[in-house]
Structure 1
Amino acid sequence: MKHLFLSAALAAALLGSLTSHTPATSHTAAPVAADSPALAAMFEKYWDERAKLYPLEATSQGDNRYNDQLPNDGTVAYRATQRQFFQQYLDQVKKFDRSKLSDNDRVSYDIFLYEMQMRLEGLKQPTWMMPFNQMGGLPIGLAQLGAGSGNQPFKTTQDYDNWLGRVRAYPVWADTAISNFRRGMRGGVVLPRPLVEKMLPQLQAMVTTDPSKSIFYGPVAKFPTAVPPADQQRLTAAYQQAIKEQLVPTYQKLHDFLKNEYLPKARTTTGISAVPGGEGMYRFAVKNSTTTDMTPDQIYQVGLSEVKRIRAEMEKIKTEVGFKGDLNAFFNYLNTDPKFMPFKTAEEVLNVYRGIQAKIDPNLKKMFGRVPKTGFEVRQTEAFRAASASAQYNRGLADGSRPGIFYVPILDATKYNVTRGMDNLFLHEAIPGHHYQIALQQENTALPKFRRYGGYSVFSEGWALYTESLGKELGLYTDPYQRMGALNGEMHRAIRLVVDVGMHSKNMTREQAIEYMRANRSIDEQAATAEIERYMAWPGQALSYKIGQLKISELRQKYEKQLGSKFKLSAFHDQLLQNAAMPLAIAEKTMDAWAATQK
């Protein structure tokens, strides 16, 4: 496919050069620069080598060559290898003359250059001294893979043996993680105490004396027919042994270390600026998450003004439904009135989400010319991680072997509240949010693989939040409480700008941040606490949503104004998604070029 694409571009360029000596007429097309085979080959080599360096990432993208590998990524040697890798490709890409590249290649060149520079800058940060937290890292990731319902395939005998290879490497990884945590303890680069307290039960949940009760037993509890009976017998014994001798003792060791050694040294401060070099770490996190040069303070101001705007919209709904108290009393009513919690079982909750898909389908066709071929499912989040998980999307595979999955955490169906915004959550996490954006990107074989499978949270989260604003056009938000849910969702992302910057650069405490969140949106204390602790664990990450959404909305308004009757919403959406996720400045440049062709 790729070669066909290249040769077509080459043919166009040759045609252009053959006709360029003829006098120009209004019908003569300008010469088209050819895509560079040398640049394409470099991108291909980069992606191929990268899979070996990041085998877990490769597995998630359906590249199964390294499914038995688990690198010890906390070592000095591994960090040096990464530095060498990104530097080598930064040097290589700079050898290409950008001015001689095709428009298509210039976009890829710009993204690649940006990516290499940011990767190298990221490697200078001392985040390796905090190797995992309650939100993510290998201990949680390994359980998701090993459960048999995630990205790690369990279809053949080889797949089952591959997983054992990863398990064997886990105790060594954990020893390095403990050593890095200790380095952090000596240098004062440690996690906040409340986060460590949340990590302990997560690790303890993996400890069991009966292997068949372990989450890691999932794959041998239900073998596919492709695994012969003799192999099933051998593998069952091997998995029982791996759970007893490698997994359980490693989780126990991590738990005991965190509880006995690390917790007493964990910090009582909230934000990353409290650790040595923390201010620089936060500035990098902001730049990395937003792909902009906005300062923390500028982001904070945007947050304050968005919170104010959305509050005014919420006040209108409160008046519309005839509620008599203030906004906080209204939040309390939405949180506690039994009529907003109509569910008895988790399946009932999931069926409401499945129904939203059917409801929006007719209108989707008017707003999108291209739809993904990748399958899609709604599932309940696994019990072991549901308590600290948000609703999330897990990418499918372009070859159709794994659907995109929208995971919904349901701790107690009878307390699942419809006013939290089920319509907008589905639009964001599922269709046309993450599922459309990620699946269409992966299915676009005209892009180099680093663009097909790579990503920028500011673009993908910005897109997903932007799609929440399409609810009315898609036939949703017909009732004021679902509109309130959508405003609640948007308010949530606006609050993040205030509390993330507040905690990490303005000395706002965890408690003040929880209070600010609860004062400005309908959320219970447990959920608000989990959210605030997430921002404590991942400084800057939560900024990407609102910053990305504001940019995409701004672009839509700009082109509606510029193009007037020639603006087609479906064409705008298709073009934005066809380009794939990219830094915002590059996205704007490519969309400006598209808009110029629409005139």
Structure 2
Amino acid sequence: MVKKIFKWLGVLLLTVIVVAGSFAAYEWNADKPLRFRSFVDREVLKMAFESPETLTSLGFLESVGITGHNGELDDASLAKADELYVKLKQVHKTLNSYENDSLTEADLLSKEIALYLLDFAKDSEQFRYHSYPVNQLFGIQNGYPSFMEAQHQIHSNDDVENYLSRLVLVQGKFTQELEGIRLREEKGIIPPLFVIERVLEEMTTFVGKLIEENILYTSLAKKMTDEQAKLLAKAKNNIKDYVHPAYKSLIDYFTNLKSKATSDDGFWRLPNGEEAYISSLKFFTTTDYTPQYIHDVGLKEVNRIQSAIMTILAEQNYDVSRGFSAAIEDLAAQESFYYEDSDAGRAQILVDYQKILDEIDTGLESAFRIRPKAGMEVVRIPEFKEKTAPGAYYQQPAIDGSRPGRFFANLYDIKATPKYAMRTLAYHEGIPGHHFQIAVAMELEGLPLFRMFSPFTAYVEGWALYSEYLAWEMGFQDDPFDNIGRLQAELFRAVRLVVDTGIHYKKWTREQAIDYMKANTGMAQSDVVSEIERYIVMPGQATSYKVGMMKILELREKAKLALGNKFDLRDFHDVVLKNGAVPLNILERFIDDYIADTLANTNSAN
């Protein structure tokens, strides 16, 4: 269905272009289309059509023969960003002009969610430069090669020529990115010293490799046919003449910026940094929770979960008399919990992850009616960026069905993947976690396009963390050590509440945060360091997981108490998933309506 929808949209666009004066053309060009749904979908499509990289990732235009965008890159200039903020204000005004009385219930919800996002964009515009666009986790320096490797498809000579074009255009895009970074420097928004050191190491390593070993070269070579191989020489020249100089311009800039950087890491140190952090917390949690409240909840949850872990360890005859950290270190020291530190061992990890996902996928009938049609697979995070990448992440399937959902596993440090933690991670990133929620949202019929990709992290990550708990409830982690793995994962998210607010609100140093997380989770040192460094460059994001999970569990308990034997877990999950990602207050309203409707139907039946 998703593929059909987007093929239809591609055809619609062609019709609009060709058939001037048609109703579709009016809806595309009018200041205010007649149909509300036409307006919100049109605005998303217009933004998508201004982003060649988005079009490549979505992959629906190719089905109607449009491929020129695959030879272009996004406009990353400050002028383009200014244009977007102006556009969002215009969209806000038009959106409000649709009278509520004229809208269906579904359109009213879409209007509410759209206004939520637009209002936040308006309120937070003052903090638009409070970010580090190039950092150890993301940015053009690793996003560009990842995009070219994972998203740019090669099926014809034209696809290769488009790839070569993007190798040339990257130099201009790096220049545009530098424009925004320099403006931040003028405003006193300079990354912490460790961030600069990390990206310099990453970029220096990237340009230091032989071109034939560069991912931009090797990924193209793998995708090409023998007949296309003659074009590899052009790719090599373009990498040398355009890609390397682009990276060197960033290397030179950050080398000079080092002298201005400090080891203070929290947002509190930036101009209006405390206000910017509160704004970030509001965006990621979709609540008005204060930093102090989140910090206190985190401390309470850390104590509760640690106690549960210690109880299990004691039952398994571990010495818990020396405290939590020592007991976890004893557990982590057992070699039997780890794979062989070799290519074969890493390959087996991927195989075993897939087995875990296949197993649970066939055992969820009692908990779910709504399920995604898209499949999913486990792959390794590309080696060139795994050293500074998180432990795992999920990539949504292609909108046209050409690529399944993907669970990317970090295999850099073999000690960071104990066997007892694998089930929980697979359930979070894959099934029934991110894959169920995100792929289902993409496949929902009648949902406006913007709601398929709504950025409500508390809902999205809260669902994934809730999924870990659900899998345990359903018996998929009945081994006590697997349950410890689950509890450690939840503890990890509770610790995040403490350290994120500690860094950005309570002025903790990077070292303080690392020490706290290491002592209270027992995670591998490499994971602790990369996680803390992630929170520093993504303020507030890490708090969304636990906040969202607690809200979903709270709402489930509310429904169970209100409905008694009328409560059906499948109904609850349908309500949570069938509208895509939403702010937590709207999710609570859904559950309240579900409770009221169920009670009303029960009373009428009696």
In structure 2, what is the Cα distance between the partners aligned to 1:347 and 1:548?
A: 33
Cα offset for 1:495? 0.7
1:568 aligns to 2:568 (yes or no)? yes
User: Which of 59, 67, 70 pairs up with 2:70?
Assistant: 67
Cα offset for 1:91? 0.3
Alignment of 1:205-216 (within 5 A): 205-208=205-208, 210-216=210-216
Instruction: Report the counterpart of residue 109 of structure 2 in structure 1.
Output: 107
Report the residue type matching 1:333 in the other structure.
D
User: Which of 290, 297, 301 pairs up with 2:285?
Assistant: 290
Report the residue type matching 1:349 in the other structure.
I
In structure 2, what is the Cα distance between the partners aligned to 1:58 and 1:311?
A: 46
Cα offset for 1:550? 0.9
8 Å CA contact 1:146, 1:218 repeated in 2: no
In structure 2, what is the Cα distance between the partners aligned to 1:313 and 1:51?
A: 47
The superposition leaves residues 34-77 of structure 1 with CA deviations (integer Å, 9 ceiling, x where unpaired) of: xx9611110121111110344433433334563333233242x1
In structure 1, what is the Cα distance between the partners aligned to 2:474 and 2:210?
A: 50
Instruction: Report the counterpart of residue 35 of structure 2 in structure 1.
Output: 38
Report the residue type matching 1:286 in the other structure.
L
Cα offset for 1:183? 3.2
Cα offset for 1:559? 0.9
In structure 1, what is the Cα distance between the partners aligned to 2:304 and 2:579?
A: 31
In structure 2, what is the Cα distance between the partners aligned to 1:172 and 1:514?
A: 38
Alignment of 1:473-492 (within 5 A): 473-492=473-492
The superposition leaves residues 197-243 of structure 1 with CA deviations (integer Å, 9 ceiling, x where unpaired) of: 11122112321463221100134312455xx82x542x323211211
Report the residue type matching 2:405 in the other structure.
G
Instruction: Report the counterpart of residue 94 of structure 1 in structure 2.
Output: 96
Relative to structure 1, is the Cα distance of residues 298 and 74 closer, same or farther in structure 2, using a 3 angstrom cutoff?
farther
Relative to structure 1, is the Cα distance of residues 117 and 53 closer, same or farther in structure 2, using a 3 angstrom cutoff?
farther
8 Å CA contact 1:334, 1:522 repeated in 2: no
Between 187-196 and 486-495, report the one with greater CA deviation: 187-196
Relative to structure 1, is the Cα distance of residues 526 and 264 closer, same or farther in structure 2, using a 3 angstrom cutoff?
same
SS in structure 2 at match of 1:470 = helix
Instruction: Report the counterpart of residue 275 of structure 2 in structure 1.
Output: 280
8 Å CA contact 1:47, 1:449 repeated in 2: yes
Relative to structure 1, is the Cα distance of residues 111 and 562 closer, same or farther in structure 2, using a 3 angstrom cutoff?
same
In structure 1, what is the Cα distance between the partners aligned to 2:34 and 2:363?
A: 41
In structure 1, what is the Cα distance between the partners aligned to 2:430 and 2:561?
A: 30
In structure 2, what is the Cα distance between the partners aligned to 1:362 and 1:129?
A: 42
Instruction: Report the counterpart of residue 338 of structure 1 in structure 2.
Output: 335
Report the residue type matching 1:155 in the other structure.
H
Measured on the aligned residues, the alpha-carbon RMSD in Å equals 2.2
Instruction: Report the counterpart of residue 24 of structure 2 in structure 1.
Output: none
Instruction: Report the counterpart of residue 324 of structure 2 in structure 1.
Output: 327
Relative to structure 1, is the Cα distance of residues 122 and 62 closer, same or farther in structure 2, using a 3 angstrom cutoff?
farther
Alignment of 1:431-580 (within 5 A): 431-580=431-580
Report the residue type matching 1:467 in the other structure.
S
Instruction: Report the counterpart of residue 12 of structure 1 in structure 2.
Output: none
Instruction: Report the counterpart of residue 254 of structure 1 in structure 2.
Output: 250
Report the residue type matching 2:491 in the other structure.
M
User: Which of 251, 262, 265 pairs up with 1:267?
Assistant: 262
SS in structure 2 at match of 1:384 = coil
Instruction: Report the counterpart of residue 51 of structure 1 in structure 2.
Output: 48
1:124 aligns to 2:126 (yes or no)? yes
Cα offset for 1:487? 0.8
The superposition leaves residues 154-195 of structure 1 with CA deviations (integer Å, 9 ceiling, x where unpaired) of: 223333333333333321222233343333334321111112
SS in structure 2 at match of 1:191 = coil
8 Å CA contact 2:221, 2:229 repeated in 1: no
1:418 aligns to 2:419 (yes or no)? yes
In structure 2, what is the Cα distance between the partners aligned to 1:475 and 1:220?
A: 44
8 Å CA contact 2:212, 2:236 repeated in 1: yes
Relative to structure 1, is the Cα distance of residues 300 and 57 closer, same or farther in structure 2, using a 3 angstrom cutoff?
farther
8 Å CA contact 1:423, 1:471 repeated in 2: no
In structure 1, what is the Cα distance between the partners aligned to 2:137 and 2:399?
A: 27
Report the residue type matching 1:73 in the other structure.
A
SS in structure 2 at match of 1:405 = strand
Instruction: Report the counterpart of residue 239 of structure 1 in structure 2.
Output: 235
8 Å CA contact 1:395, 1:439 repeated in 2: yes
SS in structure 2 at match of 1:393 = strand
Report the residue type matching 1:254 in the other structure.
L
8 Å CA contact 1:456, 1:583 repeated in 2: yes
In structure 2, what is the Cα distance between the partners aligned to 1:356 and 1:220?
A: 32
**How many equivalent pairs are there?**
559
SS in structure 1 at match of 2:529 = helix
Report the residue type matching 1:367 in the other structure.
A
8 Å CA contact 1:378, 1:406 repeated in 2: yes
Relative to structure 1, is the Cα distance of residues 429 and 595 closer, same or farther in structure 2, using a 3 angstrom cutoff?
same
Cα offset for 1:250? 1.4
In structure 1, what is the Cα distance between the partners aligned to 2:144 and 2:382?
A: 13
Cα offset for 1:412? 4.5
Instruction: Report the counterpart of residue 385 of structure 1 in structure 2.
Output: 385
Cα offset for 1:403? 0.7
Report the residue type matching 1:46 in the other structure.
E
The superposition leaves residues 492-547 of structure 1 with CA deviations (integer Å, 9 ceiling, x where unpaired) of: 11111111111101111111111111121111222111110000011111111111
Between 168-177 and 239-248, report the one with greater CA deviation: 168-177
Relative to structure 1, is the Cα distance of residues 156 and 556 closer, same or farther in structure 2, using a 3 angstrom cutoff?
farther
In structure 1, what is the Cα distance between the partners aligned to 2:257 and 2:180?
A: 11
In structure 1, what is the Cα distance between the partners aligned to 2:575 and 2:58?
A: 23
In structure 2, what is the Cα distance between the partners aligned to 1:246 and 1:56?
A: 19
Relative to structure 1, is the Cα distance of residues 333 and 313 closer, same or farther in structure 2, using a 3 angstrom cutoff?
same
In structure 1, what is the Cα distance between the partners aligned to 2:324 and 2:412?
A: 27
8 Å CA contact 2:72, 2:165 repeated in 1: yes
Relative to structure 1, is the Cα distance of residues 208 and 164 closer, same or farther in structure 2, using a 3 angstrom cutoff?
same
Output the TM-score relative to the length of structure 2.
Answer: 0.88
8 Å CA contact 2:76, 2:177 repeated in 1: no
Alignment of 1:114-263 (within 5 A): 114-127=116-129, 130-147=132-149, 150-208=150-208, 210-224=210-224, 229=227, 231-233=228-230, 235-259=231-255, 261-263=256-258
Report the residue type matching 1:328 in the other structure.
S
1:317 aligns to 2:312 (yes or no)? yes
SS in structure 2 at match of 1:379 = strand
Cα offset for 1:87? 0.7
In structure 1, what is the Cα distance between the partners aligned to 2:161 and 2:313?
A: 58
